[in-house]
Homo-oligomer: A and B are copies of this chain.
Amino acid sequence: MEFNIAMTDELLATTRAVRKRLDLDRPVPRSVIKDCLELAVQAPTGSNSQTWRWLVVEEADKKQALADLYRRAASDYLAAAGEAAAERGDVQTKRVMGSALYLAEHLQDVPVHLIPCIAGRPPADTPPAMMAGFYGSIFPAVWSFQLALRARGLGSALTTLHLVHEKEAADLLGIPDDVLQVALLPVAYTRGTDFKRAERPPVEDIIHWNQW
């Protein structure tokens, strides 16, 4: 198959973190989640480990409990980060933080929560700088899931703030101790699909050719 470069570029450039424009009223069929996860697990993994596992939460009481737990971790942090961004004149980040606060308030109402997991928890004394192979074997798949959603008119956002209460979330959902949660993604149809490219500084400023 020949790829249409303009279309693939549009997909990669306009798959945003969607929070305020998640449609809280439109149900998400399981078949859509399954189709997008089938595409997700086509991504490569280190040493072909394929240790990804996917927890999909649709039940209202569990989403409510996850949202409560998320807000406990997130609200103070997001408000402070928003204020700090405003003080240094970073309008884009201030807007992102406002959007993230909106999500925290409405998380229980999002049709689906996806919690990507890894079967096999890393030893607690692993240096953080040696975790690239581990997380590099799950986040490409997570991003593929988000891109597959985008092509189908849905949106999501990669959040990790609930992980400070990972054990509580595990108890709520029956996740075994040796399984590591890596994120929580709200998933919904989007209100409209006309998402734009993000404003970014010139990429040349952050590329180093041959030498830092």
Selected from B41, B181, B198, the residue in CB contact (under 8 A) with A200 is B41
A203 to B33, CA, bound (A): 11
Contacts of A212 in B (CB 8 A): 55, 173-176, 179
A160-184 CB contacts (< 8 Å) to partner B: 160-161, 163-164, 166, 173-176, 179-183
Report A47-65 CB contacts with B as 1/0, cut-off 8 Å.
1101011111111001000
Instruction: Determine if B9 and A1 form an interchain contact, defined as CB atoms under 8 angstroms apart.
Output: no
A–B Cβ pairs within 8 angstroms, 11 of them: A3-B11, A4-B4, A11-B11, A12-B144, A34-B203, A47-B93, A57-B210, A62-B210, A124-B129, A132-B183, A174-B212
A17 to B141, CA, bound (A): 13
Query: What 8 A-B pairs come out closest when comparing CB atoms?
Result: A139-B139, A135-B135, A140-B143, A133-B160, A174-B212, A8-B151, A17-B44, A3-B151
Kindly report which residue of chain B lies nearest to residue A179, judged by CB atoms. B212
Instruction: Determine if A11 and B8 form an interchain contact, defined as CB atoms under 8 angstroms apart.
Output: yes
Instruction: Determine if A1 and B8 form an interchain contact, defined as CB atoms under 8 angstroms apart.
Output: no
| Given contact pairs A34-B207, A127-B128, a sample of 4 additional A-B residue pairs in the complex whose CB atoms are under 8 Å apart | A8-B8, A56-B209, A59-B210, A130-B164
Contacts of A4 in B (CB 8 A): 4, 7
Contacts of A28 in B (CB 8 A): none
Q: How far is the CB of A102 from chain B (nearest CB, A)?
A: 15
Kindly report which residue of chain B lies nearest to residue A85, judged by CB atoms. B48
Q: How far is the CB of A175 from chain B (nearest CB, A)?
A: 5
Q: How far is the CB of A80 from chain B (nearest CB, A)?
A: 11
Kindly report which residue of chain B lies nearest to residue A82, judged by CB atoms. B47
Q: How far is the CB of A13 from chain B (nearest CB, A)?
A: 4
